[in-house]
Amino acid sequence: MNQNSIVINEERLKNTFIELVSVPCPSLDEKEEAALLIQKMKDLGMDPQVDDAGKKCGGSTGNVWGFLQGNVPGAVRLFFEAHMDSVAPTTGTDVIEKDGVLYSDGTTTLGGDDKSGIAAVLEALQCVVENDLPHGDVQVCFTIAEETGSYGVRYMDKTKIRADAGYCMDSNGHPGEIKNASPKAINVKLKVRGKSAHAGMEPEKGINAIMLAAEALHALPVYGRLDEETTLNVDLISGGLASNIVPEFCELVIDMRCPDEEKLERLKEETVALFRDAVEAGGGTLEVELKNVAPGVNLNTEHATVKLATAAAEKLGFPVSTGFTGGCSDANFLCGMGLPSVLLATGMDKIHTTEERLALEDLNNAARWVLGIITEATAKC
């Protein structure tokens, strides 16, 4: 079947999006959104399930899963993911439409991040069901608490995944844009210990941990963007107990990102060694804690997952691009679980602000793209 002949219901899609963003959905309290999605999936003839991810991270609900049994043997098994939560202020959004673009009324975010992804997936599935289209297995998962640390996928049971290719509908830009690479991210916590003393009476008897940290930071050869794929940023710093005490402690957290794990490991070791040398030279000591924030994504353009999305977009006439993003998303964790996954653009714009906007053309094209991928997955069967 020619996917260009498949017509999505643009009015239904717009109304679905508006309904989705009207529901309060702060991170870790997405229960109303989950209830709405459960009903919509039941209306599609699916049997939605809620996992226990919310119980593991203190949320009011878990991730919502759905499965559409395929009718084409041998088709690529697909996994579509989008997150339910939106950043504050998100107490339920009043949508304004102007010249083909959706906005909030200015008091909340719009919620296109990530209801544009959810709405696109739901509309594509609706088209499949109501037109009895040929398709392989399609699994969907709408996750919790992406905005505060991807907790939905962090606490996901990977044995539930029954797919060959994953698509996270959660990127800005126009449909046709594919983010097929993103960095592994780590946090390095550096605990500098000096020696306390009275700041006014005998400061010479103390060892100022804040100043030791400052000396080490000054010794950094470069920070921020190190090269096209590597970043290092000092994100948090704290220390001291009172203004009349030479500070005995100072803690820093450094965010490091790179898709090349060996390169990232070298950067971490070199940075820690530099800090240790500077701190110990001043009479202090250093403790180091490492936190793995997110695994990396590194699928080349010839990977089957990328090629499938590319072929679908090209048949729809969308300009196609692939590329690297310095951010981490749910796709990072899905890749870490063994499911090759990429980020697909849905048109969301000016996200995380009350000026957020979503062009209806992009929303419609996002749904067409999902539908095109489902169709393309059966192409060689």
Same domain, 286 and 308: no
- Report the distance separating Cα 68 and Cα 84, nearest Å: 20
Nearest alpha carbon to residue 244 among 209, 213, 201 = 201
- Give the total number of structural domains in the chain: 2
Same domain, 306 and 369: yes
pLDDT for residue 298 is more than 90: no
- 40 domain residue, yes or no: yes
- Report the distance separating Cα 166 and Cα 156, nearest Å: 15
- Report the distance separating Cα 376 and Cα 378, nearest Å: 5
Q: What is the mean pLDDT of residues 216-227?
A: 94
Same domain, 87 and 67: yes
Instruction: Please report, rounded to a whole number, the percentage of residues in the chain having pLDDT higher than 70.
Output: 98
Q: Catalytic annotation on 251?
A: no
Nearest alpha carbon to residue 220 among 229, 231, 207 = 231
What pLDDT is attached to residue 269?
97
- 114 domain residue, yes or no: yes
CATH number of the domain residue 63 falls in:
3.40.630.10
Which of 294, 317, 339 marks a domain boundary? 294
Same domain, 274 and 243: yes
Q: Catalytic annotation on 94?
A: no
In this structure, what are the phi and psi dihedrals at residue 258, rounded to the nearest 5 degrees?
-170, 140
What pLDDT is attached to residue 1?
45
pLDDT tens readout for residues 46-81: 999 999 999 999 999 999 999 999 999 999 999 999
What pLDDT is attached to residue 5?
61
- Report the distance separating Cα 231 and Cα 223, nearest Å: 7
pTM of the shown model: 0.88
Q: Give the model's confidence band at 326: pLDDT under 50 very low, under 70 low, under 90 confident, else very high.
A: confident
pLDDT for residue 251 is more than 60: yes
| Eight-class DSSP state of 44 | T
CATH number of the domain residue 289 falls in:
3.30.70.360
Which of 294, 315, 338 marks a domain boundary? 294
Same domain, 238 and 120: no
Q: Which domain holds residue 288?
A: 184-294
Contact 237, 251 (CB under 8 A): yes
Contact 309, 377 (CB under 8 A): no
- 381 domain residue, yes or no: no
Same domain, 75 and 144: yes
Same domain, 221 and 312: no
Same domain, 211 and 239: yes
- 89 domain residue, yes or no: yes
Same domain, 101 and 123: yes
Which of 263, 294, 325 marks a domain boundary? 294
What pLDDT is attached to residue 328?
86
Same domain, 200 and 226: yes
pLDDT tens readout for residues 99-157: 999 999 999 999 999 999 999 999 999 999 999 999 999 999 999 999 998 999 999 99
Q: What is the mean pLDDT of residues 8-12?
A: 96
pLDDT for residue 379 is more than 90: no
- Token digits of residue 285: 């000591």
pLDDT tens readout for residues 183-198: 999 999 999 999 999 9
pLDDT for residue 3 is more than 70: no
Active-site residue, selected from the candidate residues 30, 51, 81, 85: 85
Same domain, 98 and 166: yes
Contact 335, 295 (CB under 8 A): yes
Average pLDDT, rounded, for the chain = 94
Half-sphere exposure of 150 (CA within 13 A, CB side): 19
Contact 250, 209 (CB under 8 A): yes
Active-site residue, selected from the candidate residues 30, 33, 51, 146: 146
Same domain, 176 and 195: no
pLDDT for residue 283 is more than 80: yes
